[in-house]
Amino acid sequence: MTEETPASVTEDVEDLRATVHALAAQLQDNTEKLGALIDFGAAGGEGDAHEPPSPDGEDTKEKKGKGSGKPPAPPLILRLSPDEFDAELQQLDQWVRYVLVPTYLNEITSYAPWCSRWWEHPQAVARLHALWIAWQELTTPEAGGWTGPSVWHRDHLDPCLAALRSPGGPLTACMTTPDHRQHEHTHAPPVDPVETTAAL
């Protein structure tokens, strides 16, 4: 070791300390901004974000959304009214067509089947809709953070595709029998794509 080594190590430690302090300050600032946004959303976007408790003792935020600051979770697509179902299915179709299929379904085999008429399978519709909803949340930086995309792949995409595309799954016979009895859904996505940016 030379005589200059301790001095350079000290400088490195000081640089690291300064970097850590800067990151901590940035994290604190971002946390405060996110908290303010959540409070603002929970308050309906008007008035004071920190409302006093109501006279009956129940916090106003709890009445509006149990204090989560999030809108109510969407229902299972199969439980929507026919009109709502059709509108939601059109949006889902855009995402499946332009994001999921070209990115994740390049290889289709008997061990990993796919049905080009997936919307005629209620199980596929329900699973793909749940996958799409999770994608919308976890790929939004404000909600999913930096690890959101990784969580979406690990916890949502992989299990969903494994269940749908397993050799014994609901899409298996579609590769060899186009009129497979599972093709029972009466709704179909539109032939002409609607505004794709709304779904992506």
Instruction: Say how many C-beta atoms besides its own lie within 10 A of residue 69's C-beta.
Output: 17
Residue 21: both structure tokens together: 């302090």
pLDDT score, position 35: 60
The verdict on pTM exceeding 0.75 is no
Verify that 112 and 158 share a domain, yes or no: yes
Q: Which domain holds residue 140?
A: 77-198
Verify that 20 and 55 share a domain, yes or no: yes
pLDDT score, position 107: 83
Verify that 153 and 186 share a domain, yes or no: yes
pLDDT score, position 18: 73
pLDDT score, position 195: 45
CB 187 within 8 A of CB 93: no
pLDDT tens by residue, 138-185:
988 888 889 999 999 999 999 999 999 998 888 887 766 655 555 555
pLDDT score, position 147: 92
130 falls within a domain = yes
71 falls within a domain = no
Calpha distance 97→196 (Å, rounded) = 10
**Residues in the chain with pLDDT values less than 70:** 1-7, 9, 13, 16, 20-71, 175-200
Verify that 148 and 179 share a domain, yes or no: yes
Verify that 57 and 86 share a domain, yes or no: no
Per-residue burial over 153-182, b if 16 or more Cβ lie within 10 Å, else e, is: eeebbeebbeebbeeebbbbbbeeeeebeb
Question: Angle at which helices 82-95 and 122-138 pack, to 10 degrees?
Answer: 60
Q: Which residue has 């499946």 as its token pair?
A: 96
Instruction: Map residue 139 onto helix, strand or coil.
Output: coil
Calpha distance 52→153 (Å, rounded) = 41
What is the Cα 51 distance to its own chain's centre?
Answer: 30
70 falls within a domain = no
Verify that 58 and 128 share a domain, yes or no: no
Number of domains in the chain: 2
pLDDT score, position 152: 95
pLDDT score, position 174: 79
Calpha distance 87→81 (Å, rounded) = 10
Verify that 123 and 189 share a domain, yes or no: yes
pLDDT score, position 187: 57
